Structure 1
Amino acid sequence: MRCFCITDDPDVLTGMRLAGIEGLHASTKKDVDAAVSRVCADSGIAILIITEGCYALSRERLDELKLSAGRPLVNVIADSRGSVRARDYITRLINEAIGIKI
């Protein structure tokens, strides 16, 4: 099983390729949707790595893919500029999920 990366950041794409992970550069919603369709059609790809910028372009489709399909596993990563999530993202997530303040 292989990994595949969809990114809007050329630095991330270069790094993934150096690590042996195939990928595509996608800067528009149309590009992201086409790349996701390609990944879903390829039964050899088990993990889809997508940067936050591309995820934001096609959030509805990717959320649906996360919840409905067993393959590919969708993993959202930060790009070379850093994460757009809040600093206390994990703490808030735990608090919302189980009600414990850390």
Structure 2
Amino acid sequence: MKFFLISDNIDTQMGLRLAGIEGVVVHERHEVLEALEQAMHMEDVAVILITTKLVETCPDVISELKLQVKKPLIEEIPDRHGSAKIGETIDGYVSEAIGVKL
């Protein structure tokens, strides 16, 4: 099973390509939705990674897919456009998951 990246910049794509993760670079909402549709129909893709900036272009669609589709897993990843407070974001995720404020 593979990962697949949908990114808004070449830097993220190149970095993950070095780790063996293929992907595409898109910028517009319709491109994001088209790339997402194609990736979801790839039999060998288990996880789709999408940069934060692209998730913000169509949050309703991505949230709905996360709730309804079991495979592939759709996961948002931060990139250079994301929040500089990634530590606080991670603390929030952990606190929400375990129910204890860190």
Cα distance between partner residues in 2 of 1:34 and 1:28: 10
Q: How far did residue 2 of structure 1 move?
A: 1.0
Which ranges of structure 1 fall in alignment gaps of 5 or more residues? none
Aligned to 1:84: 83
Structure 1 distance, partners of 2:88, 2:25, is 30
The CA distance in 1 between the partners of 2:57 and 2:3, in whole Å, is: 21
Q: Which whole-Å CA distance do the structure 2 matches of 1:85 and 1:58 have between them?
A: 22
Q: List runs of 5+ in structure 2 lacking aligned partners.
A: none
TM-score with structure 1 setting the length:
0.83
TM-score under structure 2 length normalisation: 0.83
Question: Is 2:22 aligned against 1:22?
Answer: yes
In structure 2, give the amino acid aligned to 1:84. S
CA distance in 1, matches of 2:12, 2:59: 20
The alignment partner of 2:27 has SS state of coil
1:1-102 equivalence runs, <5 A: 1-79=1-79, 81=80, 83-84=82-83, 86=85, 88-93=88-93, 94=95, 98=99, 100-102=100-102
CA distance, structure 2, for counterparts of residue 95 and residue 73 of structure 1? 20
Change (3 A) 1:20 1:92: closer
Find the aligned partners of 1:8 and 1:61 in 2 and give their Cα distance. Answer: 17
Query: Partners of 1:85 and 1:45 in 2: how far apart?
Result: 29
Secondary structure at 1:6 match in 2: strand
Q: CA deviation at 1:67?
A: 1.0
- Aligned-partner Cα distance in 1 for 2:3–2:14: 15
Identity %, equivalent residues: 29
